[in-house]
Chains A and B, each alone.
Chain A
Amino acid sequence: MILIGEDRMPIEVLLVEDSPGDVRLTQEAFRDANPTVHLNVAIDGVDAVAFLRRKGAHADAPRPDLILLDLNLPKMDGREVLAHIKEDDSLKLIPTVILTTSDAEADIVKSYQLQANCYLTKPVQLEEFEVLVKSINDFWLKRVKLPQQMQL
């Protein structure tokens, strides 16, 4: 019998994404690729910041190990969310991956200037989207050493 790692902490991923279709696809792709991933979703920039700051309904939110951030979002866009994360001494350690349909050079450069950890363009094709989520899992959650969670 295989013991499922009961004592293993789930990997907390925060997906900031306003498209319900993309949210669902990401959820399904992670479920296939890595069942220890717990995917938290924020549907706009204000919601994302509330989650990270544990405000309001997010008082018990976990600190994410990884953030997947769309750029074009309602209320507060991804660039602002990114700036907010990377200006905060505690939050800035959380690797933040831009995941957007934009392939505008200005968006790519701006994201790296704002200290995005990397920039990925969302493919339109469903299968490619799945492959991309798997590659995020394989690299960021299996290869990379993430900073240890510091509960403040």
Chain B
Amino acid sequence: MEEATGNKRFVEVLLVEDNPADARLAQEVFRDVNSSVRLHFASDGLIAMEFLKREGIYADAPRPDLILLDLNMPKMDGRAVLARIKEDENLKIIPTVVLSSSEADADVLISYQLRANCYLRKPAQWDEFDHIIRSINAFWLSKIRLPKQLDAPA
């Protein structure tokens, strides 16, 4: 058995996703593959921005190390959220991965124009969705050097 990781910092991931089934599956996969991931959910774009700006009930929200962002969502869609993240001097360095079921080239293009760090298509099949989450973990949370949290205690 693995010992609890005493002072090891959590990897904070914000998943912006309006589909509860996708959110639950993502949580299960991360639990399987990387126990240091702490997954936070925002079910629409407005909640995502409140979380990122630490407004209202999110006053104590951690700054995410990685954002996984759906495009088609109620209230404020993923394109608007992405634009706000990347226009904000403080938030823009947080890697933001678009994870959308849209196959439209226009959505891929606009995402890169709005400075998404990458675009992944969310597969309809559950086992493929499982693979995508695993590959995000294997690449973004294992290989890539993420920027250090600027406002975290050293």
A118-B118, A147-B112 known, 20 other contacts, Cβ within 8 Å:
A92-B115, A93-B109, A93-B113, A108-B146, A108-B148, A112-B93, A112-B147, A113-B92, A119-B144, A120-B144, A132-B143, A135-B138, A135-B139, A138-B139, A143-B120, A143-B132, A143-B135, A143-B139, A144-B119, A146-B108
Instruction: Report the separation of the CA atoms of residues A78 and B121 in the bound assembly, to the nearest whole angstrom.
Output: 30
Q: Are B119 and A145 in contact (CB under 8 A)?
A: yes
Decide: B145 and A109 in contact? CB cutoff 8 A.
Answer: no
* Bound-state Cα–Cα, A10 to B120, Å: 21
Flag whether A64 is at the interface (Cβ < 8 A).
Answer: no
10 contacts between A and B (CB under 8 A): A92-B113, A108-B146, A117-B118, A118-B140, A121-B145, A138-B135, A143-B120, A143-B139, A146-B108, A148-B108
Residues of A within 8 A of B (CB): 92-93, 95, 103, 105, 108-109, 112-113, 115, 117-121, 132, 135, 138-140, 143-148
Q: Which of B102-142 contact A (CB under 8 A)?
A: 105, 108-109, 112-113, 115, 117-121, 132, 135, 138-140
Alpha-carbon distance A147/B106, docked complex (angstroms) = 9
Complex CA–CA separation, A95 to B118 (angstroms): 8
Q: A93 to B92, Cβ gap below 8 A?
A: no
**Residues of the B chain whose Cβ atoms lie less than 8 Å from the Cβ of A119:** 144-147
The reply to whether B148 and A144 contact each other, CB–CB distance below 8 Å, is no
Say yes or no: B95 contacts A118, CB within 8 Å.
yes
- Cβ-closest chain A residue relative to B110: A147
Complex partner residue of B118 from A92, A140, A148, CB under 8 angstroms: A140
Contact (Cβ within 8 A) A109 B93: yes
With a cutoff of 8 Å between Cβ atoms, the chain A residues found around residue B150 in the complex are: 109
Q: Which residues of A lie under 8 Å from residue B113 when comparing CB positions? A: 92-93
Q: Nearest Cβ distance between residue B84 and chain A, in whole angstroms?
A: 16
Name the CB-closest residue of A to B93.
Answer: A112
Contact B132 A145 (CB under 8 A): no
